[in-house]
Amino acid sequence: MKKTLPLLLQILVLGCSSVNAEIQKPNVILFLVDDMGLMDTSVPMLADKNGKPERHPLNDWYRTPNMERLARQGIRFSQFYAQSVCSPTRASIMTGQNSARHRVTQFIAPEKRNNGPKGWRWEGLTQKDVTLPLLLRKQGYHTIFAGKAHFAPTGFEGEDPTKLGFDINIAGCSFGQPGSYYGEDGYGNLNPKRKKRAVPGLEKYHKTDVFLSEAITLEAKVAIDQSLENQKPFFLYMSHYAVHSPFNSDPRFASNYKDSKKPKNAQAYATLIEGIDKSLGDLMDHVASKGVAENTLILFVGDNGSDAPLGPVHGYSSSVPLRGKKGTCYEGGMRVPFIAGWAKPGKKNTFPIARDSLHNDQIGTVMDLYSTILDTAGVKNPSSHVVDGVSLLKQLSGRGNPDRPDHFMCHFPHSHRSSNFTAFRQGDWKLIYRYKGRKKYELYDLGKDPFETKNLAESERRKLKEMTKAMIVRLEKEGALYPSEGDKELKPLLP
């Protein structure tokens, strides 16, 4: 009996150690904001030539103290890229692949098949896809989806996030635009004019004054508590419907903008941004109250350029000093805010993250989020699954990553604000190639002209040819599909 007791104690100790090891896996909150561009924040995301934050007028228009809080205790990227519209970005986050490779190259229309090249994936993501939440769930994570999904059309399996690897789905469905942000409307369910885009699953808040962003946040906090009660690490994909239209003013913040002399829609947009900021702060406070803030990584990001109602689509408006809005081939259509930090910096952090508002000026992309989160969780990507992103952990620590690719490509073979284009950046140079029309090439030196004011396609013919060749190589490597005219496929041409 004396020999048996120590053995039993060893078994118990080993068992407890195993549980503790599981609990100590980092929690991850991926905080994704719809249609939030680089300048839709009071955090100065652009840096000057010395790498110091550089404020612009829009930074003084928006009120986002919790984004500032996360930036102070973490790191921000000044050159972080998403796709130009939402569904391609969302598929890239889930798979780690660029849109040319996964072929969800356009926003997904829920009820009808958008026009596009033969073979593009209007049906969106399916259960056959290797997805981020599926891999995390297999390794013991409690996977939570909250908010806007927009992974697949109505009637297809990917419209339900639980079919793609999430344990819990809060309000996610096939569409990306909410019927209403107001609880009084039941988020569209109680308003016949808004019912087509009624947000599902939040019935307990119907006929109340709880704004949509707040309702989703409250439910996400409940799901986090379930994870902690079950002693499981959690992955929360916090994907707000805001700040997509309709631009319903959030009454909690309306008084902050009423004397601004800006248009009503612009004021309403600013209230949506401030509501998102409150959601971020509420989640940071919640994990702190539960004692897990030092073990919770937050990645804050937008899904495409800004759509703030502040001027022309292709000019200098909602992302000024950057050019263009959501859906365009210019920097304002694809550059988004990215801030990373522990919910609370401390000794329990799994790996170091640079602090004190440090900028990283290397390129980062939404494809990198897949590899970064897997790396954080200690989960391996299947060898059979090709990814186009890389882990950002080196960059998050404040160091440069010599192995990181210096290119980004947005391939959009569809009609939209900017139609049938590939935008390809390599180093400081950016090429815009249009498959239709007479004006095929635009070339910019972003190192000298970051705001795309001078098209160098005519004066830099050698660089234009070099960039076009590099773009074609990348398109072919990713298996891109091309627009067509009649029966003719429009592959890119050298100048």
* Residue 169, φ and ψ in degrees, nearest 5: -125, 120
pLDDT at 365 over 80: yes
Domains of the chain: residue spans and CATH: 25-403 (3.40.720.10), 420-489 (3.30.1120.10)
pLDDT at 420 over 50: yes
Collapsing DSSP to helix, strand or coil, 264 comes out as helix
Largest CA distance in the chain: 90
Q: CB–CB of 164/173 below 8 Å?
A: no
Q: How far is 156 from 312, CA to CA, in rounded Å? A: 36
pLDDT at 374 over 60: yes
Q: Reduced to 3 DSSP states, what percent helix, strand and coil does the chain have, rounded to the nearest 5?
A: 30, 15, 55
Distance of CA 136 to the CA centre of its chain: 18
pLDDT at 296 over 90: yes
Q: How far is 142 from 343, CA to CA, in rounded Å? A: 18
Q: How far is 76 from 134, CA to CA, in rounded Å? A: 28
Question: Whole-prediction pTM value?
Answer: 0.94
Q: CB–CB of 317/37 below 8 Å?
A: no
Q: CB–CB of 34/176 below 8 Å?
A: yes
pLDDT at 359 over 90: no
The confidence score (pLDDT) of residue 113 equals: 84
* Residue 176, φ and ψ in degrees, nearest 5: -115, -15
- DSSP secondary structure string for all residues of 332-378: HHHB--EEEEESS-STT-SS----SSEEE-S-EETHHHHHHHHHHHT
pLDDT at 312 over 60: yes
Q: CB–CB of 76/338 below 8 Å?
A: yes
**Which two structure tokens, joined as six digits, stand for 106?**
């356009």
Mean pLDDT of the chain: 93
Report for 195-199, 352-356, 456-460: range of highest mean pLDDT: 456-460
Residues in the chain, total = 495
The confidence score (pLDDT) of residue 357 equals: 63
Only one residue has tokens 């990181």, namely 404
